[in-house]
Amino acid sequence: MKKPFFTYTFLVAFIIAALLSCKEKEVTTSEAKSISNEIVNLHVDLKDSGIKIQPTMYGVFFEDINFAADGGLYAEMIKNRSFEFTNPLMGWSQPNSNKHSFNNESGIASAVKYAGNPSNKNYIRVKINDDKGYVLINEGFRGMGIHKDASYNFYLSASKKSGNVKKINIQFIDKEGTVLGETNIVPTSTDWENYTAQLTALKTEAKAQIKITFEGTGEIDLDMISLFPVDTWKGRKNGLRKDIVQLLDDMDPGFLRFPGGCIVEGRTLARRYQWKKTVGPIEDREILVNRWNTEFKHKLTPDYFQSFGLGFFEYFQLSEDLGAEPLPILSCGIACQFNTGELVPMEELDPYVQDALDLIEFANGSINTPWGKVRSEMGHPEKFNLKYIGVGNEQWGPAYIERYKVFEKAIKAKYPEIIIVSGSGPFPDGDYFEYGMEELKKLNAEIIDEHYYRSPEWFRENAARYDSYDRNGPKIFAGEYAAHPKEIEDGPKENNWEAALSEAAFMTGLERNAEVVHLTSYAPLMAHIDAFQWAPDMIWFNNLESYGTANYQVQKMYATNKGTDLLSITKEGKPLTGQGDLYATAAKDLEKEEVIIKLVNTSSNSQNVTVNISGKKVKSKGIITILTSDNLVDGNSFESPNKISPNESDFILEGEKTVVSLKPNSFTILKFKIK
Ligand code: AHR
């Protein structure tokens, strides 16, 4: 009896293995590098098309999702630094304190409320009973990343209450408790006072913690316990993580959209993003629970809050640093429609509209205006030169249109030069989309934001999406998009080469329609490997390092090779939108005097093309940049951050018959100087 069962099991296993190996073959291209014999003739016309590629064409979309702000871009290393989380001691532990035996414990910290301070509500009172080693530990954002020999600025506010707490010792420790750097503070005052000290890390450690011990006995009040690397982006005190901003800067983005995303809307109106609460002194910025904290049951992050240390001033400053147009998106009085969909009654919409008007004043107003003064007092008397403002994130239905109209009227009445971005909802088609587009067109909306998270096939099949859009209608902001591979483990593996290549193919259609499409951005922008809610994402980081995914490399290649004017590139008089698995777009850069040809081959075979350039002469020596990988499931990782990265070499154009052999599954850019 046993033998047939075993044989049958073996047979089934064999069939499954055979099927799996077939499946593998579908995605493995290294074995399938046959070169198709057909040569595809492409014609690039250097004559002016009269179509400009907007400087904003390729930008970035920032949202505080996946620990992108606190625990990510914002370099603060202490979680819950001002004890404002719902549980005021979340992120803090007192390993030697036993709250159930008040007489025996060597010390205890408990939260206390400030009398009448609405933005900074809590502090802690630490009671040290003896010298037996009371300890307070902060765990950081899934640990703290410290780099050997790097220095870190430590701050705290303290007020001595009773007895004499003589010294506060601050140490980096690893999980075994080994000390990896230390410093101390001597508190002197019974009034609130700020103290600073510096630690240097003795070792690189991704999951360090901060241990605080006290000498002396008595009671001391503490608040705003903060720790930042000295080495931040542009060396700004308490600034942004340098490695992450560098990745953004390397992309040369045309705009920075902030602060989201659904985070703009909030799950309820009370929890919407209110920019006014994110500017001014950091300790007065009222903390808010992050709407992504418990959004996905399988990805709970109940310790996810918004400190707003990265607030609207910092977003404007970052836009300026990156040379990107700031593009703030504001609540239009509708909470996230995937959650409560709470609506502010029309007669109560004024404060929301006023927020938009005041924001424009904050960015562009003279220092004598109330909000221009706030900007100036924060260290930026110069205007931020805001040109765009978004009304609502991803709203749909008549309630949105009704509210949008009120915003539009008020903004245009006071600031006719500001360009308003409206939204077409969460999907690229269907009832919400059709309705929103139709209504916004009737209102002569200037720019409409579209969102699509779809399969890689969808992206490959939709490269002609914008070919039929009305050239005289609203301009398009492809504000959130990403190819989502199906049935792939949740996380960085979703940023595989197939998804990135499919986006590259689709993006030929964005660029080819530059007359209509004025802004585009991949979403979401970044994710902490130990605390993400949503994947795929363009950049992954841990507490020490960050890397750009294959999708990032595609975005960067487009953004740093966008050109200024669109050119026509055709095969037999037609644009290439996927025929024979080929996609193409071309542009010239009037400043650099070069022609830029982008070619995407989504076939698992090499394909030969000839590129005939007419209209003007180009220099024969050019540059070819190729992005490819042997396997469609490949991706970059912390171990191999540059596995999929562009390869650049010289390319010689030998007249009209030069054959460019496009590698299987590749994205290629050819660049030649115009004579
Ligand atoms: O990018 C993640 C989310 O996707 C955004 O917050 C939202 O606008 C969209 O639904």
Return phi, psi of residue 110, to 5°: -135, 150
Provide the total of helices (H) and of strands (E) in the chain, helices listed first: 10, 32
Give the C-alpha separation, 428 to 465, whole Å. Answer: 10
CA of 28 to the centre of ligand 1 (A): 32
Give a yes or no: residue 410 inside a domain: yes
Cis peptide before 4 (omega within 30 of 0): no
Residue 230 has pLDDT above 80, yes or no: yes
Structure tokens at 92: 């803090």
Give a yes or no: residue 96 inside a domain: no
Instruction: Return the pLDDT at 105.
Output: 77
CB of 607 closer than 8 Å to CB of 40: yes
Give a yes or no: residue 649 inside a domain: yes
Would you state the torsion angle of the CA atoms of residues 256, 261, 266, 272, taken in this order, to the nearest 10 degrees? 20
- Name which residue sits closest to atom 9 of ligand 1, judged by CA: 261
Give a yes or no: residue 487 inside a domain: yes
pLDDT, tens only, 516-567: 999 999 999 999 999 999 999 999 999 999 999 999 999 999 999 999 999 9
DSSP 3-state assignment of 570? strand
Give the C-alpha separation, 99 to 109, whole Å. Answer: 10
Domain end (from 229, 250, 276):
229
Q: Are residues 48 and 65 in the same domain?
A: no
Give the C-alpha separation, 426 to 417, whole Å. Answer: 28
Residue with tokens 């629970």: 289
Residue 410 has pLDDT above 50, yes or no: yes
Give a yes or no: residue 21 inside a domain: no
> Which residues have C-beta atoms less than 6 Å from ligand 1?
63, 65, 260-262, 393-394, 426, 451, 480, 523-524, 534
Q: Are residues 361 and 283 in the same domain?
A: yes
pLDDT band at 616 (very low <50, low <70, confident <90, very high): confident
Residue with tokens 């077409």: 424
Domain end (from 562, 597, 626):
562
Domain end (from 528, 562, 596):
562
Q: Which atom of ligand 1 is nearest to the CA of 261?
A: 6
Q: Are residues 328 and 436 in the same domain?
A: yes
CA of 13 to the centre of ligand 1 (A): 42
Q: Are residues 217 and 306 in the same domain?
A: no
CB atoms within 10 A of CB 643: 14
Q: Residue 574: give its domain's CATH number.
A: 2.60.40.1180
In the beta sheet, which residues pair with residue 240?
Answer: 74
515 vs 29, more confident: 515
pLDDT band at 360 (very low <50, low <70, confident <90, very high): very high
Q: Which atom of ligand 1 is nearest to the CA of 338?
A: 10
pLDDT, tens only, 8-29: 333 333 333 333 333 333 333 3
**Contacts of the segment 646-650: beta carbons below 8 A, 24+ positions apart:** 646/553, 646/557, 648/623, 648/624, 649/623, 649/624, 650/621, 650/622, 650/623, 650/624
Ligand 1 binding pocket mutation candidate from 453, 525, 526, 533 (most atoms within 8 A of CB)? 453
Taking alpha carbons only, the member of 199, 324, 192, 340 closest to residue 252 is 324
- Name which residue sits closest to atom 1 of ligand 1, judged by CA: 524
Catalytic residue numbers read 394
Cα 193 versus chain centre, distance: 36
Q: Are residues 445 and 414 in the same domain?
A: yes
Q: How would you label 446-462 residue by residue, b for 16+ Cβ within 10 Å and e otherwise?
A: bbbbbbbbbebebbbbb
Q: Are residues 372 and 516 in the same domain?
A: yes
Give the C-alpha separation, 251 to 551, whole Å. Answer: 12
Give the C-alpha separation, 221 to 159, whole Å. Answer: 5
Q: Are residues 575 and 535 in the same domain?
A: no
CA of 219 to the centre of ligand 1 (A): 46
CA of 631 to the centre of ligand 1 (A): 29
Residue 504 has pLDDT above 90, yes or no: yes
Q: Which atom of ligand 1 is nearest to the CA of 393?
A: 8
- Name which residue sits closest to atom 6 of ligand 1, judged by CA: 261
pLDDT, tens only, 464-483: 999 999 999 999 999 999 99
CB atoms within 10 A of CB 467: 12
Q: Residue 135: give its domain's CATH number.
A: 2.60.120.260
Give a yes or no: residue 507 inside a domain: yes
Give a yes or no: residue 89 inside a domain: no
CB atoms within 10 A of CB 605: 16
CA of 414 to the centre of ligand 1 (A): 30
Q: Are residues 344 and 262 in the same domain?
A: yes
Q: Are residues 554 and 604 in the same domain?
A: no
Distances in Å between the Cα of 35 and the Cα atoms of 38, 241, 282, 460, 566 are 9, 45, 60, 21, 30
Q: Which atom of ligand 1 is nearest to the CA of 482?
A: 1
In the beta sheet, which residues pair with residue 196?
Answer: 155
CA of 140 to the centre of ligand 1 (A): 26
- Name which residue sits closest to atom 2 of ligand 1, judged by CA: 524
DSSP 3-state assignment of 617? coil
Give a yes or no: residue 530 inside a domain: yes
Give the C-alpha separation, 628 to 646, whole Å. Answer: 8
CA of 171 to the centre of ligand 1 (A): 39
Give the C-alpha separation, 643 to 336, whole Å. Answer: 38
Q: Residue 487: give its domain's CATH number.
A: 3.20.20.80
Structure tokens at 646: 């562009």
CB of 497 closer than 8 Å to CB of 634: yes
DSSP 3-state assignment of 426? coil
- Name which residue sits closest to atom 5 of ligand 1, judged by CA: 261
- Name which residue sits closest to atom 4 of ligand 1, judged by CA: 261
Q: Are residues 490 and 591 in the same domain?
A: no
Give the C-alpha separation, 582 to 540, whole Å. Answer: 30
Query: Range of 172's domain?
Result: 130-229
pLDDT, tens only, 110-165: 999 998 887 889 999 999 998 777 999 999 999 999 999 999 999 999 999 999 99
Ligand 1 binding pocket mutation candidate from 525, 534, 537, 538 (most atoms within 8 A of CB)? 534
Three-state SS string over 507-565 comes to HHHHHHCCCCEEEEEECCCEEECCCCCCCCCCEEECCCCEEECHHHHHHHHHHCCCCCE
Q: Which atom of ligand 1 is nearest to the CA of 453?
A: 4
Q: Are residues 518 and 408 in the same domain?
A: yes
Instruction: Return the pLDDT at 656.
Output: 76
Give the C-alpha separation, 20 to 103, whole Å. Answer: 65
Q: Structural domain tally of the chain? A: 3
Ligand 1 binding pocket mutation candidate from 62, 67, 262 (most atoms within 8 A of CB)? 262
Give me the percent of the chain exceeding a pLDDT of 90. 88
Q: Which atom of ligand 1 is nearest to the CA of 523?
A: 1
Q: Are residues 287 and 334 in the same domain?
A: yes
Mean pLDDT of 172-199: 98
DSSP 3-state assignment of 211? strand
CA of 261 to the centre of ligand 1 (A): 5
